[in-house]
Amino acid sequence: MESNNRSPLRVFVVDESTLVRERLSGHIGPHGAACIVGEAEDVETALQGIEDTDAEAVILDLRLIDGSGVDLLHALRSRTDPIVTIVLTNYASPVFREASVVAGADYFFDKTTEFDLAMETIARLAREKMEG
């Protein structure tokens, strides 16, 4: 199968809130440079979904149904295929930020104050992929 740099950035969303997942879909899907290929609300489903969809980026919350986004970050760090990890959470204190970075997060955003910045970052990553 031939690799196509012009294909949309494949994004997987992991958040316990259906409303947040729907909001992300509304921001990411319609523009074409990035597309959501799957979503989950727990670590196990996320790991399987990311593997099944060959996602290139994951947006995750720190609070999940069965544990913590930090657990997911640790699991993703051990993958052979690189994946961009973006934490988007309401738990944005310095302690959580530090724990996320140590666990392997590439980006960390506060849902309340940095949602737009997170969406701009996804758009930039998608443009960079398209430009190859």
Residue 131's pLDDT is 86
**pLDDT tens for each residue of the chain, 132 residues long:** 344 457 899 999 999 999 999 999 888 875 668 999 999 999 999 999 999 999 999 999 999 998 899 999 999 998 888 899 999 999 999 999 999 999 999 999 999 999 999 999 999 999 998 887
pLDDT at 106: 97
CA dist 43 and 25 (Å) reads: 19
**Alpha-carbon separation of residue 18 from 34, 52, 110 (angstroms):** 20, 21, 18
**Residue 7: what residue type?**
S
Q: Reduce the DSSP state of residue 49 to 3 states and report it.
A: helix
pLDDT attached to residue 31 = 61
User: What is the reported pLDDT for 46?
Assistant: 97
Whole-structure pTM value: 0.92
Domains of the chain (ranges; CATH) run 9-131 (3.40.50.2300)
Predicted local confidence at residue 5, as pLDDT: 58
